Homo-oligomer: A and B are copies of this chain.
Amino acid sequence: MNSIIYEDNQIYIQQEQSEIPWLKIFTKEPYKELGDLPKELREKLWKVYDTVEFHMKFYYKPTKINMASFANVLPRVHIHVMARFENDSYFPNPMWGEKLRDANLNLPSEEKFFKELLIALNK
């Protein structure tokens, strides 16, 4: 199940169920490709991305942030933001790549992360 953790009049953010912190940023108005977004909405999308990336880095201290936009099955552009750890099940492969181990990540409280992120997004 995907759950919406944030929305405003232009954007919403869904959580992807995963062993890692993984959020997906959607525009409410659907577009096929990034280049199809109006300039103002693109700027808004990257502003939201920056806030998500900053707070993932600050809170989880991941080895690396991963970002991607595919939408091949349903051609509706959205941005994946993932906090990656050197001991997660796929690292250094992308989360869509070959699984390399069975990880047992001991991450801090998701609720606290969402709380801090929402405060920042609502500023």
Contact = CB atoms under 8 A, between A and B. Distances in A.
A57 to B, nearest CB: 7
Interface in A66-123: 66-73, 75, 84, 91-94, 96-97
Chain A: number of interface residues, binned into ranges: 20 to 34
B68 A72 contact: no
Given A35-B50, A46-B46, A72 B63 contact: yes
A65 interface: yes
A34 B67 contact: yes
Contacts of A96: 93-94, 96-97
A20 to B, nearest CB: 12
A114 B35 CA distance: 19
B70 A66 contact: yes
A64 interface: yes
12 contacts: A33-B64, A34-B67, A35-B54, A63-B75, A67-B68, A68-B69, A70-B94, A72-B84, A72-B92, A72-B93, A73-B92, A94-B96
